[in-house]
Structure 1
Amino acid sequence: MDIAAHAAGELTFRAARDTDADELVALIESAYRGDASRAGWTTEADILQGQRTDAEGVLEVIRAADSRLLTVERDGRIVACCQLQHRGTAAYFGMFAVRPELQGAGLGKVILAAAERTVREEWGVREMHMTVISVRDELIAWYERRGYRRTGQLSPFPYGDERFGVPQRPDLEFELLVKDLAQDPV
């Protein structure tokens, strides 16, 4: 895996191991849910309560075929993660989390670029796909600044399945965002 330099130290990228599951759940939860998530800008605390994931969900991603949960460490501590899944000529990017206290300093851009480079080099894919809750305007704008485009393709939020959280509003759905990796080298 790549090792990238960043302002606050070296980042090490590696595939997650089963033994990382609990630490990764804590990271993902802290980035999106509850009061801890309010320290960063990616919080979903106002639109979703409850859990974002659990150890079973994280282990499923770690163990899935054609998938990798990319774990990012600095000074031996997990500071971020993202899911990469090979889907033919595309890769799916998900489960992206950066420790709230480290958000807003450029770390997310470095990780996203490394993820794009990884799927292009290792899987030869031409596109990166992701889904984002459509009401997350600030987050979608962040991805658009990195070359992702809105497709208008919507899929329903899994209302009633508390494994994905407890919605605080009735209009949640996912929108597919796509980036052409063949045209935009990282």
Structure 2
Amino acid sequence: MKNKNIITKIDHIGLNVPDINRATVFLLEAFGAEIIYESYSRELPPLEASGELASALNLAPKATLYSCRMIKIGNGVRIELFEIHVDGQREPIKSSDLGLIHLALYTDNMHEAIQKFEAAGGKMLSDPNPFLFPAEKGDKNFFCYGLTPWGTTIEFITYPDGMPYEKNNNLYK
């Protein structure tokens, strides 16, 4: 059977951070991330985006790129870190704002993941909680949210009991 989907997976997620070196150290310490490559280095002159480049990348006028680095966490999706600054730059969004609101990381050991996250400088917003929705509930299924030092929301998630929707794939048809 031929795959009906033209899109086959999420390749990477882009995050703009205030200091790429500090963010990298945090991700290495908190999640055991590894650097895959650096596509633009702080050793190069800052690159001011204007005209077509700013438009193509959806950047504010006069946004300046200082560095860009690709990392990965475990076998999951890659994260492209950017350090882009511009006058009037806004604070990170909250989960109630529009747009990409969090990055969820699966763990087999919730307590150790939280401990490493906090030791690296992350701030937890709660202890692990049972899932809220029936399609996700299980006795050992938990989630919780935390904030990176630069304010990106991270969700820790574990579901060793599986997800109820997997057992009844007609649940939402």
TM-score by length of 2: 0.30
- Structure (1 or 2) with the greater helix fraction: 1
TM-score by length of 1: 0.28
